[in-house]
């Protein structure tokens, strides 16, 4: 059935003027690491500037077809009260609450969020005044992540503070954080030996943070927690407000619309940054989402290996978003609906599990795929996540089916 759906999707795409897709070896998981303005899903064609889900109303799909789709694409199924694409049938009380919040709480949150963004932008503007950005020798790669003196501490400290303020504005008043020790309860071995490979004792900070990807809100949490560098579309560097902030974060910019000669250079920049962060405590840590797309938070997709080529230790972090009515997970819902429902929900919840730094064995250093799989199994075990073998391609098929673009059978 999947093969048939993929063929139908290709036939449909051929009617629109598609452009050839090009992946970014080995950094494909980085294509997912930006806020909504940075194309949260990522891809390599001109279509990537559009959301996976169109805001139009989906074509009618029978209940049996929906159940069949949900079995095959369980990692992307919305299980909250709002249903697939946020178009579920809501009780009258829920509609009234949304209506009230839409004209009271949501506008207030928008104004506060814009104010916070403007204040932090001005701080970044002052700290980078008369300073030349750092360039890594790759075309259009520049950042202010290596400023010295008082400037860098001010950028990082205020950035972490205002990121947490934004989460508070969006309803995340309390965030439950758990820091796991190197020994699991009742175990006599490091939990990082779940793969059976074992680990040598090493010193040094992690070169990268490895996280599951549930929502664009993940970005704000990691900014508030460690203020790491991300991988973003090159166009982000030119956006008002966000462009300067991304340079202060030390983002590595990639051009996904067309393949160019600097792809290998970008890969080299990321690996260099990871190794630098491992050896230098003053260097920004890289933040990578190796799944390559967002899920509903209950599953863990296969990891891409780009984050593991540097052979440096990594810090696994697991994010969860418990909910009662609306799930903050950005899985199968349009960006517009997601933002509206999020702003209208008075309280949102987030749980974070910080695992110990994972130091790879020599065998894992020699085999990035083994390294990635072992870290993935560890995160799934410690976070009670279900391992799934589907990816971004299946997500596009599922979304297309929900939108009635292709036949679900």
Q: pTM of the predicted model, to two decimals?
A: 0.79
> Which pLDDT score is estimated for 31?
42
pLDDT tens by residue, 61-77: 677 877 888 889 999 99
Neighbours of 9 (CB within 10 A): 17
> Which pLDDT score is estimated for 27?
43
> Which pLDDT score is estimated for 136?
63
> Which pLDDT score is estimated for 66?
77
> Which pLDDT score is estimated for 203?
61
> Which pLDDT score is estimated for 183?
42
pLDDT beneath 70, residues of the chain? 1-61, 136-140, 182-203, 256-266, 405-409
Q: What SS3 string covers the chain?
A: CHHHHHHHHHHHHCCCCCCCCCCCCCCHHHHHCCCHHHCCCCCCCHHHHCCCCCCCCCCCCCHHHHHHHHHHCHHHCCCCCCCHHHCCCCCHHHHHHHHHHHHCHHHHHHHHHHHHHHHHHHHHHHHCCCCCCEECCCCCCEECCCCCCCHHHHHHHHHHHHHHHHHHHCCCCCEEEEECCCECCCCCCEHHHHHCCCCCCCCCCCCEEEECCCCCHHHHHHHHHCCCECEEEHHHHHCCCHHHHHHHHCCEEECCCCCCCCHHHHHHHHHHHHHHHHHCCCCCCEEECCCCCCCCCCEECCCCCHHHCCCCCEEEEEEECCCCCCCCCCCCCCHHHHHHHHHHCCCCCEEEEECCCECCCHHHHHCHHHHHHHHHHHHHHHHCCEECCCCHHHHHHHHHHHCCCCCCC
pLDDT tens by residue, 101-151: 999 999 999 999 999 999 999 999 999 998 888 776 555 678 888 888 899
> Which pLDDT score is estimated for 235?
86
Neighbours of 45 (CB within 10 A): 15
> Which pLDDT score is estimated for 161?
98
Q: Give the pairing type, strands 350-354 and 314-320.
A: antiparallel
């Amino acid at each position: 059935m999947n093969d048939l759906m993929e063929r139908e999707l290709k036939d449909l795409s051929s009617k629109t003027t598609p452009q050839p897709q090009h992946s970014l070896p080995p950094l494909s998981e980085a294509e997912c690491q930006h806020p909504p303005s940075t194309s949260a899903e990522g891809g390599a064609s001109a279509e990537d500037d559009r959301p996976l889900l169109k805001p139009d109303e989906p074509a009618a799909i029978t209940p049996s077809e929906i159940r069949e789709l949900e079995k095959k694409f369980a990692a992307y199924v919305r299980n909250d009260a709002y249903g697939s694409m946020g178009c579920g049938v809501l009780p009258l009380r829920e509609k009234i609450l949304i209506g009230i919040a839409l004209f009271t709480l949501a506008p207030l949150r928008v104004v506060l969020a814009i104010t916070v963004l403007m204040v932090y932008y001005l701080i970044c503007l002052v700290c980078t005044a008369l300073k030349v950005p750092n360039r890594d020798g790759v075309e259009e790669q520049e950042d202010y992540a290596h400023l010295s003196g008082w400037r860098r501490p001010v950028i990082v400290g205020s950035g972490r503070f205002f990121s947490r303020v934004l989460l508070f504005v969006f309803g995340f008043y309390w965030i439950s954080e758990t820091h796991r020790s190197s020994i699991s309860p009742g175990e006599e071995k490091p939990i990082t030996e779940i793969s059976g490979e074992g680990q040598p004792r090493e010193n040094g900070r992690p070169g990268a943070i490895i996280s599951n990807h549930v929502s664009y809100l993940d970005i704000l949490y990691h900014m508030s927690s460690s203020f790491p560098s991300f991988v973003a579309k090159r166009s982000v560097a030119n956006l008002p407000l966000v462009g300067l902030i991304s340079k202060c974060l030390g983002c590595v910019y990639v051009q996904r619309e067309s393949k160019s000669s600097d792809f290998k250079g970008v890969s080299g920049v990321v690996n260099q940054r990871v190794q630098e962060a491992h050896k230098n405590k003053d260097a920004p840590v890289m933040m990578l989402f190796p799944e390559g797309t967002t899920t509903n938070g209950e599953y863990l997709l296969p990891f891409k290996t780009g984050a593991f080529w540097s052979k440096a230790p990594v810090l696994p972090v697991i994010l969860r978003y418990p909910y009662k009515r609306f799930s903050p997970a950005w899985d199968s819902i349009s960006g517009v609906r997601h933002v509206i429902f999020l702003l209208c929900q008075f309280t949102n919840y987030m749980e974070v599990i910080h695992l110990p730094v994972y130091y790879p064995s020599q065998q894992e250093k020699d085999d990035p795929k083994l390294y990635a799989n072992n870290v993935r199994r560890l995160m799934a075990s410690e976070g009670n996540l279900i391992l799934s073998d589907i990816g971004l391609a299946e997500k596009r098929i599922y979304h297309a089916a929900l939108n009635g673009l292709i036949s679900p059978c």
